[in-house]
Amino acid sequence: MELALSLTWMAFVSWLILRAYSQRLLFPVLEPVPSAIRDPAASVSVIVPARNEAANLERCLKPLLDQTYPPDRLKIVVVDDHSADNTFAIASSIAQQAPNLTVVRSPPLPPHWVGKPHACWIGAKTASADAEWICFIDADVTAESALLSSAMALADSQQLDLLSLAPRQRLVSFAERLVIPCGLYLMAFCQDLTTVQAPDSDKVTASGQFMLVRRAAYEEVGGHAAVHDAICEDVGLALRIKRSGGRVLLLNGKLLLSARMYSGWRSLWGGLSKNLVEMLGGPTATLVTIPLVLLPALTALLLPAVDGISCARGSSAGCLALIPAGLGSAAAISLHIAGATYFRIPFWYGLLCPLGYATGACLAIDSLRRRWRGKIAWKGRTYP
């Protein structure tokens, strides 16, 4: 029995590693291009929804104003979503030196609307009348100068209607470094990119931190007004565009943009728990995922320990079982050490992956609690 469990564990870890490798191949990196390829370049309006983003906004806007994309074909709109800090003042100060930057205040939030889709909707309505594309970028994103040229070149060559890019995550605090890599691994294990990236699939994946949308496709599905009450408005909008016949693609944008979503435990816990249930596929899927996450995390620690104790007591079966158990756990830890290296954080965070998954399970439980309570709080607002 000991040997069978250890072999099963080693086989499971091997499958996870192979799946991670195959998923990586289905998540290609967008390569930078120096300038717009199409002549004349398509007109683009960039929308930056911002609520209490004083700490991030300048780092976001300055690179957007320094893009290699033709400046006469690029307009930027910052939508101040009732910020309680200096977001509007910072944006207005930058706009004084940038003729293609417009700053608007979002009107009062209508009933049954969520803040971010409303700010995006206001930005889209403010966009240039001749804009062929609308690009939604979160205020915590920092772009490289070739971002828009590269994204537009790919969208044009692939005839896309929506291109979403996943930024490289900047992880600074202990909370970010512990939880976010494990969360991204979990999403990679749960999602089948072969299915969700297929043009004829009824599923989709997207990152709201960067979404470049063909204006005609955006307006055809009703834009953000169609997902006005969605916490995960990015996936909702992408799904509507895909189901209407549009081509949607998510790529790895690590060479062209980076983001720091959270600054510590407080912002991370509130930010992830508000929509983790939706990210995992709903309450039922979340209830199933929690034990499926905890069990491997505990197994990685306990199975080699149990087999080692058995071996120390003179059990030949325990000694034999310790080999595959140890190899499986070492491979699992090594995978997360490699992930820590990818995220440019100390390697020893990979050793803490069982704690990271346990924390993620607690986040999922809290997300379920918020869902069942019927209220979600985020950035000073409470949504039903």
At 371 the pLDDT is: 83
pLDDT bucket at 244, cuts 50 / 70 / 90:
very high
Residue type, 228: H
| Token couple for 342 | 């990818």
pLDDT digits (tens, 9 = 90+) for 7-19: 888 999 898 888 8
Residue 294: partners with Cβ closer than 8 Å, 6 or more residues away: 357, 358, 361
| Annotated domain spans of the chain | 27-173+191-263
Phi first, then psi: give them for residue 105, nearest 5 degrees. Answer: -95, 135
At 378 the pLDDT is: 67
Asked if 360 and 183 count as a contact pair (C-beta separation under 8 A), the reply is yes
Q: Give burial (CB, 10 Å; 0-12/13-18/19+) of 277.
A: buried
Chain-centroid distance, C-alpha 62: 23
Q: Which CATH architecture has domain 27-173+191-263?
A: Alpha-Beta Complex (3.90)
At 31 the pLDDT is: 93
Interval 153-172 mean pLDDT: 95
pLDDT at 63 over 90: yes
Residue 336: partners with Cβ closer than 8 Å, 6 or more residues away: 181, 182, 185, 349, 350, 351, 353
